[in-house]
Structure formats: C-alpha cells, structure tokens
Amino acid sequence: MSLTFAPTDANAIPLHVFDKGDFDVWLNAQSQTLRNWVSACGFTPAFGKSVLIPDETGTPVMALAGYGDETARARTRFPLAAIAASLPAGTYALANDLPDGDLETECLGWLLACYAFDRYTKKSGATARLVCPASVNAQQVEAIAAAEALTRDLINTPASDMGPADLETAARELAQAHNCRVTVTTGADLLAENFPMIHAVGRAAPASRAPRLIDMRWGQSGPSLTLVGKGVCFDTGGLNLKPGASMGLMKKDMGGAATVLGLAQMIMSLNLPLKLRVLIPAVENAVSGDSFRPGDILTSRQGMTVEINNTDAEGRLVLADALALASEENPDLLISMATLTGAARVAVGPDLAPFFTDDPAFSGALEQAATDVSDPVWRLPFWTPYDKMIEPGIADLDNAPAGGFGGAITAALFLRRFAAGQRYAHFDIYGWNPAPAPARPKGGVGMGARAILAALPRALNL
C-alpha cells in the first residue's frame, strides 16, 4: 500500500478528465479511429468511469475518465478517487485541468483510494498511481494521507490487538517519530494522580488492559492547542450490558483517540508553529466483580460529583477527567473528539461530523475549511436550557439523563462543565464508513481532522 505520489515519469499515461459538456467538444475534435474506439468501449464521462486508448501496438497512450455532472459530484466526494479505483495498475499524469473542485483535495482523494486495511489478509486499494501535479504541495498531501491511514488502521484493528496498552504503544511510536514527550499514568496510579473517573471506568479490565491516561506534548512556541480523544478500546456497556448487535462495532469506540492521533501527526509532519498537547484516556469498559455500577456516585478530578445512571455512558466520564486536566493549563484552543452518542448518528447520519462550540470565530473558520477540503462538519448547539437535564439532584451531574431527548446535546453539555472557561469545541464523530465510497472504503475513517487542520491557521492566527 503506497499512499505517495508516483515519481515524475516521462512514460506516465496522460489522463484526460471530463464532464459531459467538455467531453463532447473534445471527442469531436479527435480522429475517427479514436472516436470509434471510444464508441466501441461504450465510454461516457459518467462519474468514475474510465477507458484506456491504445496505439496500433496495443500500448496505452492515454486514458479518458469521467468526472460526472454537478449532481453526481454533489452526492459523493472525491470524484478523482473514483477514477483512480477504476483504472488498471500504472502511472498516470493529469493532462488537463479538472472541471471543478480543489485539485489538492482531489489528489489527496486519489492517495486515499489506495488505502486498504491489510493487517490480517492480503488486500489492496486502487493500484493506479498518480504523478503529483506541479501546482500541488506533494509533501503536504502525502503527510495528510499518511495521518489518515494511521487513524484508519487504529480504528480497524480489533480490540484483541488494540487494547489500552496497544493504544499507548501507538502513541509512543508517533511520539518517537516526532520527538515528543510522553507520560502515561496507569492503573492504581490514576487514583494517586487524581483521575478517579478514568480509573472507575477501566478498573474492571484485567491488569494487562489496565486503564491509563496518555499525555503527549510537542512544540516549544506559538499558541497552545490541546486535543483530547476518547480511547475506549472496547465498550461492552459495562453492567448495563449492550446487546450483541450493538457490541459488534465497539472496537471503534476509540475512534476519537485515533482521530486526534492522526490530527497530531498531520500537525507535526507539517511543522505547524504551535504547542501541541494530546490527552487520551485509554480504557476498556469491561464487566467483572470490580465494575462500576448504576447508582454509584463518582467524584471527578474537578471535584464535581457524577451519578451513574448508565454504565454505557462511560465515554463522557473518562473525557471529563482529561478535560479537567487540560483546562488547568488554559490552552488557546481545546478540542475533544469522541465516538460519544448514538443520538448524533440519528441526528446527522454517519457522514457528517457534528461539533459543538460557543466560539463563533472557530465555528466560522471550521465550517469554511470543511467545505474547502471536503471534510464535512455540522454545528449542533450547546443548548444551555438543557443543562437542567444533566442535574439529578443527588449529585452535581447525571451521566445519562432519562427521557432520551437531545442525547448528543446533553452529552456535550456534560463535557462543557469540565472545560469551563476554555475556548472549547467538542466533536461527536462516528469514525466508521458503513458502505464503501471513493477514497473511503468500508471501515474506520477519520472525521473532522482535516477540517480542523485547515481551520487552525485562521483559528489560532498561525
């Protein structure tokens, strides 16, 4: 699997990309022989379609590909990635400008079309390679593709090979590659260092899968950015046990951690001028005699008490302690990412990354960036009148308010209590692509990271 551009090659096959109107004009200007070949192959410039044009010896001398019409492109991202998947193995070079769309984003889509999760079986993505166009920053696009591949690999790896210790190993490997500083607080030390809710959620797991807080730092100057990622490596639901059908994808419940590690890799690879901190509470929500229980009241790092009304609402508990720690340093921007609620999926489906913030400047920068780089986000409200729904009376907060209304909002409001006073945004992502699409095979996928990356210069005045 190579998520890099092909070296410049004089023998690269010229690739002509068309929408319908442009194609008809171009084709009418070609030789009768070429027109006959195109007709015999039944080629039309539909979305993702392609055809090779041979010379008299049968050697391909050009490729034609369809970019689709505006309707097709609006329904599916990365039309160039769809073309990459339809072409046979070889090296290709764009021979004309794309009909529309951002060339750098489309070239990234081509690289991501080459991704396949091949740890356990032989598998490949697209085998066609692209020569990077001269106007595209190859180093930046390749760095983003590699970071997205890291996120996908982490999410796709089953919990048998991606427990809290394995997630720590992945963070340490990333840190070593970029000269980061890492500290990890594990097991009973979490109590000694005042991370009681991280400990409570993870304490039922065996010692080999003990809970931990991973703390990674990079950069010496510039504005400070702290990323907090939910690292629930498997979620049984705890004593509020999930039904089997709901447990099947719970290896992806560390998707927030995987996404912030991918985003961190992008930031470090591109050497953005900022101070970065990454916090990952890594746990397994297991079932044993030491499980935390419905009705328990936990005291958080911040001192607020939390009544446990559902042990399957554990992600917000581990994030709360990490957010409290992050807030102690007052970073210039604090972002949490988590596969947190089914309510968010009901609200916006699997393709959008909903986010919450009280900061209109960050929201504006993010929404524009998301459009620019084809990484869609959707703002949901921190609706303060719902605060009373997370106040049970017997404790300061309720981790799972009854009623079921506004579940993504009440979860976000819960987290906001622990980021009080900070410039804060929370992303409730899905982290999974349920059906294959161009550049996005079925399986783990990063959501929101590229939009955040593109928004940071404006959001932090870099």
Residues assigned a catalytic role: 242, 316
Residue 455 CA to residue 364 CA, distance in Å, equals: 9
DSSP string, 316-381: HHHHHHHHHHHHTT--SEEEEEE---HHHHHHH-SS-EEEEES-HHHHHHHHHHHHHTT--EEE--
Instruction: Give the containing element (helix H, strand E) for 462.
Output: none
Residue type at position 328: E
Place of tokens 């912030």: 260
**CA neighbor of 430 nearest in space, from 345, 324, 332:** 345
Residue type at position 131: V
Residue 294 CA to residue 403 CA, distance in Å, equals: 17
CA distances from 59 to 31, 37, 52, 130, 302 (A): 17, 14, 9, 18, 69
Count other Cβ atoms within 10 Å, centred on residue 343.
19
- Contact between 88 and 449 under an 8 Å Cβ cutoff? The reply is no
Residue 190 CA to residue 199 CA, distance in Å, equals: 6
Cα 199–Cα 201–Cα 202 angle in degrees, nearest 5? 65
